[in-house]
């Protein structure tokens, strides 16, 4: 096999983003609704083993760490009694809430009485720790309630936001309101202190904004949406303070400009992602085109100038975020797992506004590479930082003192079905490719979608849509940006569909038709933007949505001295017994052979060096 393609585009994703970029004449508002994962039953050779490991390993690890290995749950017990010390970091409550959200999502598609009982026990302890005025935060309850709401960087609203997300998820999963009631009381407490005509407040770590929108959508209480909007509008007006420790920096906290004036990403990467998600959610409901215009500008800055080929973001360990455009070191890359998950969240929202597949291209890249690398194949160890080069000393851990990433993965994995399909007035949208059966009502009609595929290992997808009555919608099937050649057929007859913003549009179809998408999946040699000085004279390897890397265990000890050339040939090898079953890539240059594995699989065997960007000679 001698298939390769050299790409050199002005973005590190480098899969055709520049070709697909379309700037509308004016900002758009939400046009697509996602099909919720609760309706999606995934049966997929790639994803099903990961979802199984989530249940058997990831959640048990989180539960054990929270209950037995750290003091996170004990903090709630102590707070309920009003005695004892607080252990850990001031924002550790959030790990409990995120793990609880992961439990809730798991229960939706995999009912488990024992797991639900465990969640109820946690919720009882959380509720018992709430103060009479509605306030809940174990750090301040145990270290001095007189100090609360004085330091904007102590994550009080951040923790509250994650509690709200968990409460909404658990209510959706079980119908139980206890944590939802705790959350509304905390929201009401905050609103008694902050808001128009009251105190100013700029949360140091965004999260509360998007959580309040979820609370509004669940309770239909307009005040929660309005409060989210108010918090967003607080930024960039000098209301932020340095707090008790003097660490407040406006750029780090996205507080330099009013959010609707933002043009460039800055500061802490995860905080940015949560901010942009909150802006998108409020914009959709408030019809705020100013927010959408700002998000368009920010997306260009992130993807075209500040994103790694893995879909990871955040190049600096110093601020867990950004320095300057095109500064993308490999060995010292930060690329926090939480930030990659945040890229999925944000890009899904951007796609809902626009119906543009370029956002799903980034979503997919971040999901399969940046986020999925964050958890081991066994599901029990985690990366916080995801570099693109290692000297053999960077490994996943069972837990972290700051454990935001393990708990983030615990809630992300069971919800991946959220990103497969969407609906709009005129169309049914197919965004991602994974085996599943989905049953849902669309326009009051019972619809079943069935997708069969071996993606991401090959590009063949079979889709069947069955509706009790005519659906009267287009089918919009995403053609990934990495795909340069494909065929589309209906009931075995090849069709030449029109395309719009990266989607093939099928207008003439009926219930029960079989749609086949066959995408060629060659090996690609990818080059970075020449302004990325760290990758001058280097290339990366990609196949389909997967970025590949060299790992020492598969290659000569001096593999870092190897190189690719224009004459390098590639062979894709099916290796069902390796790393959970993969397709590796063998690169041959003269008598030199290199073996590459998908980036998400690295550091699952013996320790050794790793690199994504490989020397290249013309």
Residue 542 contacts residue 528 (beta carbons within 8 Å): no
For the chain, list residues with pLDDT below 70.
1-28, 242-247
Do 101 and 114 have their domain in common? yes
Phi-psi sector, 359: left (phi>0), alpha (psi -120 to 50), beta:
alpha
Phi-psi sector, 521: left (phi>0), alpha (psi -120 to 50), beta:
beta
d(CA 299, CA 349): 12
- Could you give the 3-state DSSP secondary structure of residue 33? strand
Examine residue 447 and state whether it is found in any structural domain, yes or no: yes
Do 96 and 243 have their domain in common? yes
Examine residue 156 and state whether it is found in any structural domain, yes or no: yes
114-166 pLDDT tens trace: 999 999 999 999 999 999 999 999 999 999 999 999 999 999 999 999 999 99
Domain that holds residue 142: 70-248
Do 505 and 542 have their domain in common? no
Contact partners, residue 48, CB within 8 Å, separation at least 6 = 42, 435
d(CA 596, CA 317): 27
Tally of helices (H runs) and strands (E runs) in the chain: 16, 24
Residue 193 contacts residue 138 (beta carbons within 8 Å): no
Do 527 and 582 have their domain in common? yes
Do 122 and 236 have their domain in common? yes
Examine residue 187 and state whether it is found in any structural domain, yes or no: yes
Residue 269 contacts residue 322 (beta carbons within 8 Å): yes
Q: Any bridge partners for residue 519, and if so which?
A: 486
- 404 catalytic? Reply is yes
Two structure tokens written together for 495: 């069709």
User: Of 480, 504, 519, which one is at a domain's C-terminal end?
Assistant: 519
Residue 217 contacts residue 224 (beta carbons within 8 Å): no
Examine residue 589 and state whether it is found in any structural domain, yes or no: yes
Examine residue 600 and state whether it is found in any structural domain, yes or no: yes
Do 515 and 583 have their domain in common? no
Examine residue 310 and state whether it is found in any structural domain, yes or no: no
User: Of 248, 267, 290, which one is at a domain's C-terminal end?
Assistant: 248
Q: What are phi and psi of 34, to 5 degrees?
A: -75, 150
Instruction: Determine how β-strand 421-423 pairs with β-strand 460-467.
Output: unpaired
Give the side-chain half-sphere CA count within 13 A for 267: 22
User: Of 213, 248, 283, which one is at a domain's C-terminal end?
Assistant: 248
Do 103 and 231 have their domain in common? yes
- 575 catalytic? Reply is no
Do 446 and 432 have their domain in common? yes
Residue 227 contacts residue 176 (beta carbons within 8 Å): no
222-254 pLDDT tens trace: 999 999 999 999 999 999 986 666 667 899 999
Contact partners, residue 536, CB within 8 Å, separation at least 6 = 528, 530
Do 195 and 75 have their domain in common? yes
CB atoms within 10 A of CB 141: 21
pLDDT at 243: 60
427-461 pLDDT tens trace: 999 999 999 999 999 989 999 999 999 999 999 99
Do 506 and 597 have their domain in common? no
Q: Which of 274, 284, 215, 222 is nearest to 32 (CA)?
A: 284
Give the total number of structural domains in the chain: 3
Examine residue 304 and state whether it is found in any structural domain, yes or no: no
Q: Which of 17, 62, 404, 405 is catalytic?
A: 404
pLDDT at 246: 61
Do 502 and 534 have their domain in common? no
Q: Which of 207, 320, 474, 551 is catalytic?
A: 320
Q: Is 144 exposed, middle or buried (0-12, 13-18, 19+ CB in 10 A)?
A: exposed
Do 79 and 221 have their domain in common? yes
Question: pTM here?
Answer: 0.95
Q: What is the CATH number of the domain that holds 467?
A: 2.60.420
Examine residue 389 and state whether it is found in any structural domain, yes or no: no
């Amino acid at each position: 096999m001698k298939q390769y393609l050299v790409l050199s585009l002005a973005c590190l994703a480098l899969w055709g983003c520049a070709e697909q970029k379309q700037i509308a004449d004016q900002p758009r508002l939400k046009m697509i609704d996602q099909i919720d994962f609760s309706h999606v039953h995934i049966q997929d050779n790639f994803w099903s083993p990961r979802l199984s490991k989530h249940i058997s390993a990831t959640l048990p690890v989180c539960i054990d760490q929270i209950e037995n290995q750290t003091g996170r749950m004990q903090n709630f017990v102590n707070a309920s009694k009003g005695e004892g010390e607080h252990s850990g970091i001031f924002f550790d409550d959030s790990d409990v809430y995120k793990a609880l959200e992961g439990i809730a999502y798991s229960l939706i598609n995999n009912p488990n009485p024992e797991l639900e009982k465990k969640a109820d026990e946690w919720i009882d302890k959380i509720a018992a720790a709430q103060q009479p005025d509605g306030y809940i935060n174990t750090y301040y309850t145990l270290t001095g309630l007189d100090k609360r709401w004085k330091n904007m960087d102590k994550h009080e609203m951040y923790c509250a936001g994650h509690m709200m997300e968990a409460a909404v998820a658990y209510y959706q999963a079980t119908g139980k309101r206890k944590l939802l009631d705790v959350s509304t009381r905390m929201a009401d407490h905050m609103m008694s202190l902050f808001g128009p005509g009251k105190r100013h407040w700029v949360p140091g770590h965004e999260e509360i904004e998007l959580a309040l929108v979820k609370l509004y959508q669940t309770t239909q209480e307009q005040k929660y949406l309005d409060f989210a909007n108010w918090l967003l509008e607080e930024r960039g007006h000098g209301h932020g303070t340095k707090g008790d420790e003097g660490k407040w920096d406006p750029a780090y906290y996205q507080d330099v400009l009013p959010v609707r004036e933002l043009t460039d990403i800055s500061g802490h990467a995860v905080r940015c992602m949560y901010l942009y998600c909150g802006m998108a959610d409020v914009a959709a409901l408030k019809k705020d085109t100013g927010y959408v215009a700002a998000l368009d500008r920010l997306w260009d800055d992130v993807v075209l100038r500040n994103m790694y080929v893995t879909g990871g973001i955040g190049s600096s360990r110093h601020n867990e975020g950004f320095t300057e455009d095109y500064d993308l070191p490999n060995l010292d890359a930060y690329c926090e797992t939480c930030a990659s998950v945040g890229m999925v969240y944000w890009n899904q929202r951007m796609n809902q506004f626009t119906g543009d597949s370029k956002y799903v291209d980034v979503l997919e890249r971040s999901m399969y590479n940046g986020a999925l690398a964050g958890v081991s194949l066994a599901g029990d160890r985690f990366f916080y930082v995801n570099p693109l080069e290692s000297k053999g000393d960077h490994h996943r851990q069972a837990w972290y003192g700051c454990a935001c990433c393990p708990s983030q993965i615990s809630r992300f994995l069971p919800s991946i079905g959220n990103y497969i399909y969407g609906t709009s007035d005129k169309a049914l949208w197919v965004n991602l490719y994974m085996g599943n059966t989905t049953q849902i009502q669309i326009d009051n009609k019972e619809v079943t979608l069935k997708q069969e595929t071996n993606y991401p290992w090959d590009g063949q997808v079979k889709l069947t849509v069955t509706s009790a009555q005519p659906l009267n919608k287009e089918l919009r099937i995403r053609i990934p940006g990495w795909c340069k050649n494909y065929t589309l057929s209906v009931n075995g007859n090849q069709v030449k569909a029109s395309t719009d913003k990266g989607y093939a549009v099928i207008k003439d179809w009926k219930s029960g038709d079989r749609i086949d998408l066959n995408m060629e999946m060659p090996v690609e040699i990818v080059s970075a933007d020449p302004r990325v000085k760290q990758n001058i004279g280097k290339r990366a390897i990609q196949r389909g949505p997967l970025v590949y890397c060299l790992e020492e265990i598969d290659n000569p000890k001096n593999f870092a001295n190897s190189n690719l050339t224009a004459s390098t040939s590639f062979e894709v090898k099916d290796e069902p017994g390796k790393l959970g079953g993969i397709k590796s890539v063998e690169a041959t240059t003269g008598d030199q052979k290199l073996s590459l594995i998908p980036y998400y699989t690295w550091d699952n065997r013996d320790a050794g060096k790793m690199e994504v960007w490989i020397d290249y000679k013309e």
